Amino acid sequence: MEGNNIFEEYREKMKNIILFLISLVLMTFIISSCSKNPYEGREDAIKEGAALYKQHCEKCHGLQGSCGVCPNLTDGDWKYGGSDRDFFKSISNGRPGGMPAWKGIINKDGIWKIITYLRTLEK
């Protein structure tokens, strides 16, 4: 009887390990899919992103993203990282010292389109 208990305990532990690993793989997939810009390089997204930028961002960052008042978006010098995922977090959640959080105002697709447009401004 005691051998059965050991086997059952081992089986239960293995089941938990397998479930954990499956969860880890799924979370990795979800995180990686959220950090890649689905609109990268698309002309239609660049146009829509430009319109959203003009509506929401231009007042602080300037016409071409290089206004002296707010951080320059064209020089590749990024305080919070320069990946698309970093941009998404900055736009969505805001940053201390003046960058407002746009989550809830601009939807996820709109934020990705703004990022797509910003990539065209880089020097």
> Token pair of 119, please?
């990539």
Spell out the CATH class of 43-121. Answer: mainly alpha
What value does the mean pLDDT take over residues 64-77?
84
Checking if the pLDDT of 33 tops 60, the result is: no
Give the residue with greater pLDDT, 86 vs 32.
Answer: 86
Would the pTM count as exceeding 0.75? no
Checking if the pLDDT of 1 tops 60, the result is: no
Collapsing DSSP states into helix, strand and coil, what is residue 95? Answer: strand
Classify residue 110 as exposed, middle or buried by CB count within 10 Å of its CB (0-12, 13-18, 19+).
Answer: buried
Indicate the domain borders of the chain: 1-35, 43-121
Q: Are 123 and 66 in contact (CB under 8 A)?
A: no
> Token pair of 90, please?
């900055």
CA angle 31, 34, 39 (to 5 degrees): 155
